[in-house]
C-alpha cells in the first residue's frame, strides 16, 4: 500500500502548479453527490483506470478547482464523503481497483482528491453490474453491465473492441512476473519473433541467454506462454505483440555484452541457413528500433550501437550469392535503411563503386520484390535533405540496371508535390551531378518531370521506425523556378538529337512564356546539324503543337498569340519543302489529331480526307504511278494512299502495278488499292495474270460470292495460297459462304480464323450455326496468345453448353473443356460445365485427378497439373445438388464414402477431403435461413480434413480497390463470419464455430495490418 503522505504531497504539488487537464488528470469544481452522481463518478473512475497514455502512472481527480480558468474554489469539508462509501461504490467495477480518496489543505482552502493507483494492472476495467440513477429532473442515467470507458486527452470516451485490444497489448508489457524475467525479456525483445520448431532459432536464443542448458530455453518458452498478453503464438511461431514498446522498456536490462552478442548472432541469421524467416524479420525490426532510439539505451552508449549496426550491415552487404541471399531477405531491407540511413547508402554506393557483379547480375534478373523494397527505402531516405542527393544518385545507378527505378526518382522531385524536405535549389541542382553519371537517363528523368509536373503515380511509402515529418505543396514561385531550372539543365543535354528536340517541343505545353522562349532559342541553336529527315520530324512536331494550340485556345487572344509566335518562326525556318512535308504528314496513321477542330466532327473528317484524295491525285497526275510509289515509301498510311489511288489510276497502270508489285509479301499500297477498285475492272486487269498473282490479289479482297467464284477456278496450289493469305472479312451476311470459308480455313490450318467467324455467327442470333462445325473447329484450333482468342473460345463453349447435347457430343465437349481449361476465366459466364458435372457424378474421376495433382515423378506434365489445379479450384457443383438448390444428402454421403475408399488406397485421403472442403465453402444456404445447409454443416463439424479445406478456401481473398474500400470489405467479412459463428454455436456445431472464428480473427488481423 502506498504512503498516504506521498499521495497528498503529489496532490498539493498539482494544486500549486495547476497543470492542464490530461488523460491522467481531471479537475472538478464541486464534490460528487454519492447518490445523485454515482453514474458520473463511476464513468470518471473507469476512464482513468483505462487511460492508455498513463499506464504505469498514478492518475488524479482533484475536487475544488474550476477546469477552464483553473480557479481554486476549494470545497466545504462537511460535504466530503468517507472513503468507505467510495470503496463500496467502486466494488461495482471489475476487477476491483485500488482507489484512494481524501482531502488536503492548501492556500487556506480544502480540496478533495481521488488517486487511481498505478498498481491497477488488471485490464480492461469495466462495470460489473448495471447502475441506474435518477436525476433531479427525473431523467434516468444508466451504465450497462460490461460497459467500459477510457480517457482520450481530457475527455471520457466509450471503449470499443478495437480500443480494448490495443489497451491490452500496450498494458501487457507491465505484466512480467516470472523468475529471471529481466533476462528473458531483454533477450526475447531483441529477437522479436521466432519459430519454436526451428533449431537454429532456439540455438540463437540459447546463445543470447548465455546458457548451455536446453532447460533454460524451455523456461523462456514457458515464460512466454505465461505472458500471452506480451507475446503471441500461432503454430509455434512467436512474436512480441508490441515489439518497439517492449524493446524500449527492456533497454535498462540490455548490456554491452548482450548487444555485441546479439549483433554477432544477427550476422549468422542473415548470412547462413538454418534460421526461420520469422527470426530474420524480428531481428531486422530490432536493429531498426535500436538505430532510431539511441537515446533510450543510455547504459550502452550511442556510439557502440552505431558501430555494431555499421559492422553488421557491412558484413551483410558483402555476399557473393545475391540471388539466393536477396530473395530471402528482400522484405527485411527496409529495416536496414531505417536503422542507419548513412550506413545503408554507404553500402549501396560501395556495390556500384566496386561494380559488384553478383549484385548487378541479381538485380538484372530479380523479381519485383527487391526492386520494390529498394524503391521504397530510397524514396524514404530521399525525404531527408541530408540523404537526398545520395539517394537520388543511387536510384540513377539502379536505373542503369533497371530503368523502372526512374519512376521512383522522378516522383520524389515532382514540382507540385515533392516527396522530400530538400529545398527546390537542391532538388534541381542534383540533376547536374546526375548528368555527369549518365546523360541519357538524366534526360529521360528530366523530360518525365517537365512534361508531367503533376504525375499520376508518386511512390508514397511509410517508414517503419524512421521519423519523417509530413510534406506540403510547393509554392507557385518555387514550382515555376524549379521547372525553369529543370528545362535549363535539359537543354544542355539536347546534343543535336532530334528526338530530344521533339520532346522539348512537347514541354512547351507545360512551361511559362519566358521558359518557352528559352526552349525555342536552344532548339534554334541545334538546327544546323540536322539532316533533312530530322528537320521533317521536328517540323511535324511543331505542327502538332500548333494544331493542339488551335484546338484548345483562341489564337487571336493576345497571350496565346504571343506564345505561338516563336513556334511559328521556328516552323518557318524548317519549311524549305513545305508541300512535301505537309503531304507526308497527311498520311500519318494517327490522323485524328490532324483534324482542324473547326465545326462538326463529320465536316472535319470530310475536309481532311478530301485533302488526302487531292494530294494523291495531284502526285499521280503530275508524276505518274512511279511518283505515287516513291511517295508511298515515305508515308505511314500506305493503305489509305492505295484507296485514293484507286480513284485516279488508269487501267494500264493498274495492270502494271499489280504485275510489278506482287512479291511474296503483298505491298501495302496494293492492299489498299485492290479493295477500292470496282470488281469487274479488277478482273479485267488480271485477265492475263497467272493463277498465283490472282490468288494474292483476290486475298486482298473481302470474302464474297464474287471472289469465291474466281478462287474455285484457280489451280490447287494457288487456291491454297489464297486461303493461307485471306482474312475473314465478308461482304454478304451469307451463312453458306461463312460455312464454306470455315471449311477451307480448317482444311488449311487456320482454325483461328474459323473461330473468329463462328463467334460472329453466334452473336448474330438470326443465323443457324452447325453444332458439329463448332466442335470440329474447337478441336482443330491450337491455343494462341491474345485476349480475343480467349473471348472467342469462351463464347463458343458457352454456346455449346446452351445446346441440347447427346452423350457423344458431351464426351467431345468435355475433351474440348479440358483442352481450353487455362482459357476459361468465367468472365463470359463460361465454365467447364461437363467436367464439373463429371467431378460431382464420378468419384473415380475426382480421385484420379487428386492422384495426378500430387503425383511426384520426373516426367510429370506441368500443363496437365495446371489444368487440374484450375478445374479443382473453380469447382462449384456440390455432389447431390439439384437445379432447385436442394442437396440429396444420401447421394453426397455415398460419394464421400467412395472417395474415401479410393483415396485411402493411394494415401491421399487427407488431400481429397480438403479439396472437398474447399468445394463445400460454396454450398447453398439452408432454406430456413441458416447460412449453410444443415447436413453439410454436420459433415464439416465431424470431419477435420474437410473442415481444414473449408477454412483454406475462406482464407483465399482477393480485392481491387482503394484502401477505404478494402477496409470496408474486411469489416464486412469480419461481421459475416462473426454472425456465422454465433449461428453455428446456437446449432451446437462447436468445431465449425471455432473454424468460423478463425476466419473472423484472420480478417481482423489483415484489417489491422
CATH number, domain of 103, equals: 3.30.950
Q: How far is CA 104 from the centre of its chain?
A: 61
Q: How far is CA 99 from the centre of its chain?
A: 51
Inside any domain, residue 87? yes
Asked if residue 950 lies in contact with residue 915, where contact means CB atoms within 8 angstroms, the answer is no
Inside any domain, residue 642? no
What residue has cell string 540459447?
A: 206
Asked if residue 265 lies in contact with residue 223, where contact means CB atoms within 8 angstroms, the answer is no
Q: 786 versus 945: which is more confidently predicted?
A: 945
Asked if residue 50 lies in contact with residue 82, where contact means CB atoms within 8 angstroms, the answer is no
Q: Is 932 helix (H, G, I), strand (E, B) or coil?
A: coil
Output the pLDDT for position 961.
46
- Could you report the per-residue pLDDT of 604-633, keeping only the tens digit for each? 889 989 999 999 999 898 888 888 888 888
User: How far apart are alpha carbons 144 and 163 in whole angstroms?
Assistant: 18
Inside any domain, residue 722? no
- Could you report the per-residue pLDDT of 560-595, keeping only the tens digit for each? 777 788 888 888 777 654 456 778 888 888 887 778
Identify which of 390, 252, 456, 234 has the alpha carbon closest to the alpha carbon of residue 1001: 234
Of 41-45, 359-363, 933-937, the one with minimum mean pLDDT is 359-363
Q: What phi and psi values does residue 59 have, to the nearest 5 degrees?
A: -120, 150
Number of structural domains (the chain) is 4
Residues 121 and 258 in one domain: no
Burial of residue 913 (CB within 10 Å: 0-12, 13-18, 19+) is buried
Other C-beta atoms lying within 10 Å of the C-beta of residue 208: 20
Q: Is 739 helix (H, G, I), strand (E, B) or coil?
A: helix
Inside any domain, residue 510? yes
Q: Sorting pLDDT into bands at 50, 70 and 90, what band is 173?
A: very low
Residues 114 and 199 in one domain: no
Inside any domain, residue 13? yes
Output the pLDDT for position 640.
92
User: How far apart are alpha carbons 249 and 997 in whole angstroms?
Assistant: 33
Q: Sorting pLDDT into bands at 50, 70 and 90, what band is 1004?
A: confident
Residues 99 and 201 in one domain: no
Final residue in a domain of this structure, among 111, 140, 168: 168
Q: Is 25 helix (H, G, I), strand (E, B) or coil?
A: strand
Residues 163 and 199 in one domain: no
- The whole-number average pLDDT for the span 335-356 is 85
Residues 68 and 162 in one domain: yes
What secondary structure does DSSP assign to 745-758, as a single string?
HHHTT-HHHHHHHH
Distances (CA, A) of 621 to 651, 674, 852: 14, 20, 72
| Angle, alpha carbons 97-98-102 (nearest 5°) | 130
User: How far apart are alpha carbons 344 and 350 in whole angstroms?
Assistant: 10
Cell numbers linked to 443? 534526360
What residues make up the domain containing 305? 177-318
Asked if residue 445 lies in contact with residue 409, where contact means CB atoms within 8 angstroms, the answer is yes
- Could you report the per-residue pLDDT of 445-490, keeping only the tens digit for each? 999 999 876 655 555 566 677 777 776 777 888 888 999 999 999 9
Cis-peptide into 124, omega within 30 deg: yes
Identify which of 956, 958, 877, 945 has the alpha carbon closest to the alpha carbon of residue 917: 945
User: How far apart are alpha carbons 867 and 823 in whole angstroms?
Assistant: 10
User: How far apart are alpha carbons 61 and 47 in whole angstroms?
Assistant: 11
Q: Is 70 helix (H, G, I), strand (E, B) or coil?
A: coil
Q: Sorting pLDDT into bands at 50, 70 and 90, what band is 786?
A: low
Q: What phi and psi values does residue 234 have, to the nearest 5 degrees?
A: -145, 110
- Could you report the per-residue pLDDT of 85-95, keeping only the tens digit for each? 899 999 999 88
User: How far apart are alpha carbons 849 and 871 in whole angstroms?
Assistant: 9
Average pLDDT, rounded, for the chain:
85
User: How far apart are alpha carbons 49 and 43 in whole angstroms?
Assistant: 10
Residues 189 and 96 in one domain: no
- The whole-number average pLDDT for the span 196-221 is 89
Residues 120 and 23 in one domain: yes
User: How far apart are alpha carbons 751 and 739 in whole angstroms?
Assistant: 12
Asked if residue 290 lies in contact with residue 240, where contact means CB atoms within 8 angstroms, the answer is no
Residues 158 and 192 in one domain: no
- The whole-number average pLDDT for the span 487-495 is 93
What secondary structure does DSSP assign to 552-579, as a single string?
HS-TTSHHHHHHHHHHHHHHHHT-TTHH
Cell numbers linked to 574? 524548317
Q: 56 versus 329: which is more confidently predicted?
A: 56
User: How far apart are alpha carbons 784 and 151 in whole angstroms?
Assistant: 64
Q: 172 versus 450: which is more confidently predicted?
A: 450
Cis-peptide into 548, omega within 30 deg: no
Of 282-286, 734-738, 954-958, the one with minimum mean pLDDT is 954-958
Asked if residue 155 lies in contact with residue 166, where contact means CB atoms within 8 angstroms, the answer is no
Q: What phi and psi values does residue 519 have, to the nearest 5 degrees?
A: -65, -50
Q: Indicate the helix (H) or strand (E) that contains 60.
A: strand 59-63
- Count of alpha carbons within 13 angstroms of residue 664, beta-carbon side: 0
Output the pLDDT for position 963.
52
Asked if residue 187 lies in contact with residue 279, where contact means CB atoms within 8 angstroms, the answer is no
Output the pLDDT for position 532.
77
Residues 107 and 184 in one domain: no
Residues 154 and 220 in one domain: no
Residue 255 has pLDDT above 80, yes or no: yes
Other C-beta atoms lying within 10 Å of the C-beta of residue 856: 5
Residue 995 has pLDDT above 60, yes or no: yes
Q: Indicate the helix (H) or strand (E) that contains 799.
A: helix 787-801
Cell numbers linked to 900? 474415401
Residue 82 has pLDDT above 60, yes or no: yes
Output the pLDDT for position 162.
75
Q: What phi and psi values does residue 354 have, to the nearest 5 degrees?
A: -90, 0
Output the pLDDT for position 677.
93
Inside any domain, residue 245? yes
Inside any domain, residue 313? yes
Of 24-38, 63-77, 427-441, 658-672, the one with minimum mean pLDDT is 658-672
What secondary structure does DSSP assign to 822-878, as a single string?
TT--STTS---HHHHHHHHH-HHHHHHHHHHHH---TT--HHHHHHHHHHHHT----
User: How far apart are alpha carbons 984 and 681 in whole angstroms?
Assistant: 81
User: How far apart are alpha carbons 693 and 699 in whole angstroms?
Assistant: 10
Residues 53 and 129 in one domain: yes
Residue 747 has pLDDT above 60, yes or no: yes
Output the pLDDT for position 665.
57
Other C-beta atoms lying within 10 Å of the C-beta of residue 153: 10
Asked if residue 413 lies in contact with residue 420, where contact means CB atoms within 8 angstroms, the answer is yes
Identify which of 431, 505, 428, 512 has the alpha carbon closest to the alpha carbon of residue 474: 428
Read off the pTM: 0.51
Inside any domain, residue 811? no
Handedness of CA 514, 515, 518, 520 (dihedral sign): negative
Final residue in a domain of this structure, among 545, 572, 599: 572
Final residue in a domain of this structure, among 275, 302, 318: 318
- The whole-number average pLDDT for the span 150-154 is 85
Identify which of 423, 452, 458, 447 has the alpha carbon closest to the alpha carbon of residue 499: 447
Handedness of CA 52, 55, 57, 58 (dihedral sign): positive
Residues 34 and 143 in one domain: yes
Amino acid at each position: 500500500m502506498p504512503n498516504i503522505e506521498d499521495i497528498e504531497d503529489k496532490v498539493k504539488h498539482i494544486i500549486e502548479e495547476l497543470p492542464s487537464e490530461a488523460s491522467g488528470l481531471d479537475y472538478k469544481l464541486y464534490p460528487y453527490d454519492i447518490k445523485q452522481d454515482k453514474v458520473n463518478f463511476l464513468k470518471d473512475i473507469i476512464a482513468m483506470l483505462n487511460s492508455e497514455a498513463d499506464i504505469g502512472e498514478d492518475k488524479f481527480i482533484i475536487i475544488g478547482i474550476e477546469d477552464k480558468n483553473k480557479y481554486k474554489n476549494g470545497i466545504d469539508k462537511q460535504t466530503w464523503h468517507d472513503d468507505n462509501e467510495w470503496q463500496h461504490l467502486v466494488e461495482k467495477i471489475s476487477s476491483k481497483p485500488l482507489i484512494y480518496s481524501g482531502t488536503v489543505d492548501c492556500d487556506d482552502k480544502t480540496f478533495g482528491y481521488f488517486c487511481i493507483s498505478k498498481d491497477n494492472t488488471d485490464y480492461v476495467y469495466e462495470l460489473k453490474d448495471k447502475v441506474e440513477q435518477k436525476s433531479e429532473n427525473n431523467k434516468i442515467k444508466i451504465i450497462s453491465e460490461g460497459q467500459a470507458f477510457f480517457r482520450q486527452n481530457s475527455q471520457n470516451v466509450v471503449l470499443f473492441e478495437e480500443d480494448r485490444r490495443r489497451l491490452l497489448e500496450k498494458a501487457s508489457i507491465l505484466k512480467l512476473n516470472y523468475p529471471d524475467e529481466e533476462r528473458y525479456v531483454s533477450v526475447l525483445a531483441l529477437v522479436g519473433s521466432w519459430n519454436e520448431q526451428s533449431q537454429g532459432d532456439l540455438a540463437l536464443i540459447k546463445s543470447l541467454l548465455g546458457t548451455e542448458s536446453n532447460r533454460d530455453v524451455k523456461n523462456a518458452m514457458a515464460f512466454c506462454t505465461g505472458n500471452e498478453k506480451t507475446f503471441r503464438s500461432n503454430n509455434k511461431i512467436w512474436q512480441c505483440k508490441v515489439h518497439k514498446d517492449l524493446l524500449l522498456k527492456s533497454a535498462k536490462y540490455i548490456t554491452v555484452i548482450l548487444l555485441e552478442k546479439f549483433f554477432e548472432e544477427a550476422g549468422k541469421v542473415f548470412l547462413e541457413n538454418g534460421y526461420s524467416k520469422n527470426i530474420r524479420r524480428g531481428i531486422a525490426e530490432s536493429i531498426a528500433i535500436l538505430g532510431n532510439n539511441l537515446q533510450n539505451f543510455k547504459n550502452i552508449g550511442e556510439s557502440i550501437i552505431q558501430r555494431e549496426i555499421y559492422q553488421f550491415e557491412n558484413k551483410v552487404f558483402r555476399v557473393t550469392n545475391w540471388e539466393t541471399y536477396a530473395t530471402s531477405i528482400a522484405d527485411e531491407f527496409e529495416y536496414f535503411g531505417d536503422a542507419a540511413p548513412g550506413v545503408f547508402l554507404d553500402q549501396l554506393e560501395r556495390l556500384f563503386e566496386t561494380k559488384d557483379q553478383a549484385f548487378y547480375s541479381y538485380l538484372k534478373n530479380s523479381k519485383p520484390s527487391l526492386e520494390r523494397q529498394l524503391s521504397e527505402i530510397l524514396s524514404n531516405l530521399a525525404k531527408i535533405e541530408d540523404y537526398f542527393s545520395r539517394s537520388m544518385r543511387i536510384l540513377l545507378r539502379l536505373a542503369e540496371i533497371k530503368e523502372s527505378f526512374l519512376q521512383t526518382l522522378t516522383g520524389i522531385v515532382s514540382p507540385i508535390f515533392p516527396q522530400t524536405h530538400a529545398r527546390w535549389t537542391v532538388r534541381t541542382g542534383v540533376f547536374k551531378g546526375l548528368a555527369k553519371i549518365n546523360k541519357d537517363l538524366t534526360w529521360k528523368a528530366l523530360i518525365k518531370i517537365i512534361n508531367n509536373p503533376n504525375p499520376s503515380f508518386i511512390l508514397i511509402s511509410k517508414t517503419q521506425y524512421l521519423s519523417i515529418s509530413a510534406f506540403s505543396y510547393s509554392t507557385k514561385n518555387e514550382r515555376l523556378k524549379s521547372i525553369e531550372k529543370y528545362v535549363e539543365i535539359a537543354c544542355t543535354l539536347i546534343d543535336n538529337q532530334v528526338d530530344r528536340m521533339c520532346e522539348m517541343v512537347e514541354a512547351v505545353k507545360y512551361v511559362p512564356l519566358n521558359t518557352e522562349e528559352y526552349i525555342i532559342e536552344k532548339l534554334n541553336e541545334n538546327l544546323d546539324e540536322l539532316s533533312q529527315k530530322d528537320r521533317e520530324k521536328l517540323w511535324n512536331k511543331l505542327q502538332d503543337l500548333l494544331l493542339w494550340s488551335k484546338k484548345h485556345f483562341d489564337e487571336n487572344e493576345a497571350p496565346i498569340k504571343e506564345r505561338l509566335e516563336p513556334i511559328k518562326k521556328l516552323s518557318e525556318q524548317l519549311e524549305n519543302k513545305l508541300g512535301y512535308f505537309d503531304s507526308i504528314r497527311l498520311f500519318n496513321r494517327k490522323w485524328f489529331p490532324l483534324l482542324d477542330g473547326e465545326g462538326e466532327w463529320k465536316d472535319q473528317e470530310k475536309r481532311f480526307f478530301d485533302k488526302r484524295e487531292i494530294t494523291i491525285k495531284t502526285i499521280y497526275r503530275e508524276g505518274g504511278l512511279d511518283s505515287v510509289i516513291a511517295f508511298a515509301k515515305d508515308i505511314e498510311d500506305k493503305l489509305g494512299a492505295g484507296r485514293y489511288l484507286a480513284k485516279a489510276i488508269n487501267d494500264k497502270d493498274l495492270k502494271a502495278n499489280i504485275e510489278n508489285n506482287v512479291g511474296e509479301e503483298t505491298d501495302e499500297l496494293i492492299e489498299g488499292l485492290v479493295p477500292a477498285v470496282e470488281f469487274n475492272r479488277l478482273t479485267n486487269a488480271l485477265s492475263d495474270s497467272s493463277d498465283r498473282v490472282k490468288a494474292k490479289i483476290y486475298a486482298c479482297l473481302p470474302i464474297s460470292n464474287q471472289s469465291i467464284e474466281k478462287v474455285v477456278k484457280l489451280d490447287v496450289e494457288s487456291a491454297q495460297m489464297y486461303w493461307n493469305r485471306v482474312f475473314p472479312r465478308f461482304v454478304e451476311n451469307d451463312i453458306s459462304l461463312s460455312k464454306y470459308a470455315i471449311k477451307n480455313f480448317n482444311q488449311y490450318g487456320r482454325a483461328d480464323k474459323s473461330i473468329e467467324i463462328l463467334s460472329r455467327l453466334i452473336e448474330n442470333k438470326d443465323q443457324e450455326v452447325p453444332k458439329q462445325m463448332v466442335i470440329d473447329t474447337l478441336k482443330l484450333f491450337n491455343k494462341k496468345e491474345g485476349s480475343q482468342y480467349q473471348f472467342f473460345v469462351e463464347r463458343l463453349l458457352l454456346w455449346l453448353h446452351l445446346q441440347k447435347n447427346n452423350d457423344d457430343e458431351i464426351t467431345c465437349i468435355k475433351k474440348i473443356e479440358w483442352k481450353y481449361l487455362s482459357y476459361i476465366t468465367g468472365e463470359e459466364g463460361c465454365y467447364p460445365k461437363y467436367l464439373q458435372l463429371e467431378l460431382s457424378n464420378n468419384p473415380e474421376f475426382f480421385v484420379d485427378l487428386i492422384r495426378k495433382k500430387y503425383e511426384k515423378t520426373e516426367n510429370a506434365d506441368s500443363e496437365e497439373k495446371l489444368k487440374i489445379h484450375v478445374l479443382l479450384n473453380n469447382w462449384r457443383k456440390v455432389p447431390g445438388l439439384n437445379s432447385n438448390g436442394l442437396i440429396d444428402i444420401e447421394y453426397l454421403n455415398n460419394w464421400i464414402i467412395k472417395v474415401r475408399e479410393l483415396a485411402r488406397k493411394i494415401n491421399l485421403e487427407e488431400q481429397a477431403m480438403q479439396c472437398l472442403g474447399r468445394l463445400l465453402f460454396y454450398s447453398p444456404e439452408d432454406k430456413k435461413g441458416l447460412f449453410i445447409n444443415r447436413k453439410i454443416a454436420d459433415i464439416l463439424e465431424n470431419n477435420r480434413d474437410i473442415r481444414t479445406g473449408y477454412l483454406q478456401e475462406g482464407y483465399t481473398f482477393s480485392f481491387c480497390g482503394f484502401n477505404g474500400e478494402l477496409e470496408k470489405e474486411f469489416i464486412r467479412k469480419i461481421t459475416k463470419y462473426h454472425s456465422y459463428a454465433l449461428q453455428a454455436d446456437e446449432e451446437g456445431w462447436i468445431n465449425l464455430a471455432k473454424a468460423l472464428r478463425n476466419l473472423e480473427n484472420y480478417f481482423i488481423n489483415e484489417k489491422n495490418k
